[in-house]
Amino acid sequence: MKSKPKGLYLAKIVSKYKDREYFTYLLRRSYREDGKVKQQTIANLTELPEVTRELVKESLQGRVFLPSEEAIEITRSRAHGNVAVISKVMEDLGISELLSSRRSRESDLIEAMIVARIINPQTKLSTIRWWDNTTIPEEFSVEDADEDELYAALDWLLQRQETIERKLAQRHLSEGGLVLYDVSSSYYEGSHCELASYGYNRDRKKGKKQIVYGLMTDSKGIPISIQVYPGCTSDTKTIGEQVEKVKEEFKVERFVVVEDRGMLTQGQIDGLKALGGVDWISAFRGPTIKSLYENGELQLSLFDERDLLEIDSPDYPGERLIVCRNPLLAEERRRTREDLLRASEEKLNKLMRRVASGRLREAGKIGQALGRIENRYKMAKHFIFTIEDGKFDYRRNEESIAFEASLDGFYIIRTSVEKEKLTAEEVVYSYKSLSRVERAFRTLKGVDLKIRPIHHWLEKRVRAHIFLCMLAYYVEWHLRESWKSMIFTDEYAHREHVLQATRSESALEKTRKKKLSDGTPVHSFQTLLSEMGTIVCNDARVPAVPEIPSFTIITTPNEVQRKALELVGLKQFSKRRQK
């Protein structure tokens, strides 16, 4: 700041006349002459506007005023609001303590990568280049990090995976509670990783190898553990290891494991029984339901006035079989089957025209062409075909179609949990909780965290990458919960044991109006996170006064941003963390 002019000041003179006060403002100079202090009036400023007089007064005191376009120069801007809210959630969750009892360079890098994975998931090299445009480096003191350090931090994280998962289990699992488990896969780019192999490709990426991973969560869908397997691993072969992990590593003696239909074989059930303290909830596939119906154990007439019934079967001793009928699901399957039948008939009619025109004559080649149609729509069971040299005909198998239609909307939950512990309705609802694991997979594999495609060459890096994505989802899950009143999440979903869950009125209102009750827009999680990213941290300076040090200005939050900050408990922006 420049020194103030010597001896100059603005004097305020008060005078009274007939009970009224009058003010005079004089610009004066104070000086010494012959050892005495004297005053010189330079100008009368009384007629100036008050705001102008204040500028003169503050200028005389040493303050510098510049034209607005010259006053401040922004030298650098970095996205900050999105980093700040995620950092606050991580602080509240104790992520630093979860990673390690002592803060270290590796833990700082992992925390930084978690934030980066939630905001803008990219390769490690791209992440290093991108996060310089955010406050992540200064927030976690990793300004000088390079790609090699990120890889080294991933190796450090993998060594601590078992310890971290035990801490998560202590937080979220309890004796006698539900453990949700499901399996998914992601395609792999390259050919160097030993884990990558061909298998059932859920991503529908033809010719791509893949990695399989099993995710374990609590009853709310909060991730606890993730295990990576070779791409050719069958879902059913992962269950025993996961159950053993809960008992041996997490020290939970009694729990109920909930798994998707068809994952439990009889051999695995025998193994669970031998362990003791482990119950299960799963579901039958279509062929098993058909078998129960044909054996007379499933009587459809009992569902004329009910949608749920518990039955027994000698083929499944010690298990409760809970049969449910969802009329909405039945109608959806009827519609889907009819669409597939019509699509199949269009292709079959084209095949008939080819045969009739003589372009296709040999029965063997006709059969090959028919096989391609069958493989596409999987509807061959509902048709009767006639194939001869130079002849092809078909008709619908109405009996087969009617039989399948009679079972539309039916599904059967199987469980070993006793009636005293869970009612039939609670068992069905518990099985439906698997949708929370499916939501986790959608977040991990979709636009949010982008676990795929996987580029790492080394097996340990693939495992560490997927574990890092799980930790990022752990943080994102809690941030979504904090923001659920502002985003399209249905925070008051109606609990329904057989039918699909019905959306609450508040959720329907959000979808209809795209606005909240206060008039602000409803966001998706990603758009709200992007909105927070417009709160930036600006490095600024005053060019006209170089002796003034550079300083920081943070964008003033708008109404939506203020609300989002309040929901995570962030009332003001904190400074950079100290070592």
pLDDT tens digits, 186-236? 877 766 777 878 877 776 777 788 888 999 999 999 999 999 999 888 888
Residues 116, 144: contact at Cβ < 8 Å?
no
Average the pLDDT over each of 63-72, 110-119, 357-366, 425-434 and give the range with the smallest value.
63-72
For residues 345-353, give the mean pLDDT: 95
Highest mean pLDDT out of 264-278, 304-318, 359-373: 359-373
| Mean pLDDT in residue range 102-112 | 96
CA distance 139 to 253: 41
- The encoded tokens of residue 65 equal 């005023």
Mean pLDDT is highest, among 385-394, 424-433, 491-500, 567-576, for 385-394
Alpha carbon distances (Å) from 60 to 14, 64, 196, 242? 21, 9, 75, 76
Q: How many other C-beta atoms are found inside a 10 Å radius of the C-beta of residue 193? A: 21
- Mean pLDDT score of the chain: 88
* 116 and 83 Cβ atoms separated by less than 8 Å: no
Per-residue model confidence (pLDDT) at position 546: 80
- pLDDT score for 150: 94
CA end-to-end distance (rounded Å), the chain = 32
**Cα separation, 314 vs 380, whole angstroms:** 33
Cα–Cα distance measured from residue 113 to residue 107, given in angstroms and rounded to the nearest whole number: 10
CATH 3.90.350.10 fits 161-326+409-455, yes or no: yes
Residue pointed to by tokens 């002849």: 391
What dihedral do alpha carbons 339, 341, 347, 350 form, nearest 10°?
-110
Residue predicted with more confidence, 393 or 236: 393
Cβ neighbourhood burial of 204 (10 Å; 0-12, 13-18, 19+): exposed
What are the residue ranges spanned by the domains of the chain?
8-64, 161-326+409-455, 328-406
In terms of pLDDT, which residue wins out, 497 or 432?
A: 432
Q: Which of 292, 310, 322 is nearest to 406 (CA)?
A: 292
pLDDT per position as a tens digit, 32-65: 888 888 889 999 999 999 999 998 888 888 887 7
Assess contact for 360 and 400: CB atoms under 8 A.
no
pLDDT confidence bin for 576, thresholds 50/70/90 = very low
Alpha-carbon dihedral 389, 391, 392, 398, rounded to 10 degrees: -110
Output the pLDDT for position 577: 47
The Cα–Cα gap between 368 and 376 comes to 13
DSSP 515: B
pLDDT tens for each residue of 239-255 = 889 999 999 999 999 99
Say which residue the tokens 């698997």 belong to.
Answer: 434
Beta strand 178-187 with 255-259 is parallel
